[in-house]
Amino acid sequence: MPPQAEAGFDQRNVVIGSGDNFWTWSRDRGWDLTHPAPGELGPLKTALALRCELSNVTIDTTKSALVIIDLQNYSMCKALAPDVHPSLVMAQETLLNYGIPAARRANIQVIWLNWGLTDQDLEKMPPAAFRTFGFKANSDETDYGISVKTLDETIECGEAPRLTGLGADLGVIELENVTKVEAGRALMKGTWNAALHGPLLAMFEEGQTAPRPDVLIHKNRNSALWENHSDFEIFLKHEGIRTLLFTGANTDQCVMATLQDAHSKSFDTILLKDGCATDSPQYAQQSAEYNCCRNWGFLSSCRALARGAAAI
């Protein structure tokens, strides 16, 4: 239902949506995203108030999930990615110190969403994906010089193949502690390079004994919701999860691709800005945050989630 707009309408409480998918707005509390069942009355014991940019929200922790995307050895381990961006390291630390502990405290489902390919996936992979992972621009500029070009100029830095593309054998690598590991084929399911990175893997293993155990789900595109009935979508619907708190890497790529598809599939979407990062120019992160303030849901943070969990 659209918000009522008659003259003199009491704007302290507005209900928008339809059927069992509706939000309630109040001037005092912002948006209620708890999706109460028919006949459900009174305050929820599982409600969590989350501070957001523009308008605050209230979520039902039993219907919510913290989604952590692509924080894998492939992009986070310095032996494979020596130039790993500092913002990715900071996002990892924020998740370890605030985001994941808060989700566990509030009994929010933690979902680790990673690239994990099969040979059948590679057979169906579009050329655009192979180009993204298998070619590198011949430019030292973080945006390939786009920002210093005029509209009438073209970007002529060119590209060249690299040896770390999807399915490529990454061989044996030496870690910082001098241990040698077989990295495996790039982003293939079950390989070392596709595994969760270091302390995050330890956190996932710890989560197996949580009252609501962590789950690991694999995807085969930037978005985990690009196709109907993906493993991610099936799990969310089976568990009755309606609200998704997004973190991970890269903000403007896999995180936003999945968030936008989730938005289109009627999930509530919230970006936790300090729990995600990108190695793209800063304006890419800013664009994602700006649009999540209003167009694609809400913008909050892991630290805000920690404060909300502590107040339950």
The rounded percent of the chain whose pLDDT value lies above 70 is 93
Q: What one-character DSSP code corresponds to residue 117?
A: B
Residue 289 DSSP SS3: helix
Mode of pairing for the β-strands spanning 21-26 and 30-32: antiparallel
Instruction: Select the more confidently predicted residue: 85 or 40.
Output: 85
Return the residue matching tokens 């293939």. Answer: 188
Q: Is residue 49 over pLDDT 70?
A: yes
Which residue has 């050329």 as its token pair?
127
Dist. CA 253–CA 70, nearest whole Å: 11
pLDDT band for 7, please (50, 70, 90 cuts). very low
At the topology level of CATH, where does 62-116+194-298 sit? Rossmann fold (3.40.50)
Two structure tokens written together for 271: 């970006």
Q: Give the 3-state secondary structure of residue 171.
A: coil
Read off the pLDDT of residues 84-125 as tens digits, 9 standing for 90 and up. 999 999 999 999 999 999 999 999 999 999 999 999 999 999
Structure tokens at 284: 């890419």
Question: In 3D, which of 29, 27, 31, 37 has the Cα closest to residue 16?
Answer: 31
pTM for this predicted structure: 0.94
Please give the distance of CA 132 from its chain centroid, rounded to a whole number. 19
In the chain, the N- to C-terminal Cα span, in Å, equals: 31
Per-residue model confidence as pLDDT tens digits over 235-246: 999 999 999 999
235: alpha, beta or left? (left if phi > 0; alpha if psi -120 to 50): alpha
pLDDT score of 218 more than 80: yes
* Angle at alpha carbon of residue 144, lines to 226 and 134, rounded to 5°: 50
Q: Which band of pLDDT confidence, cut at 50, 70 and 90, is reported for residue 139?
A: confident
Q: Where are the domains of the chain?
A: 62-116+194-298, 122-186
Statement: residue 2 has pLDDT above 60: no
Give the pairing type, strands 47-50 and 57-60. antiparallel
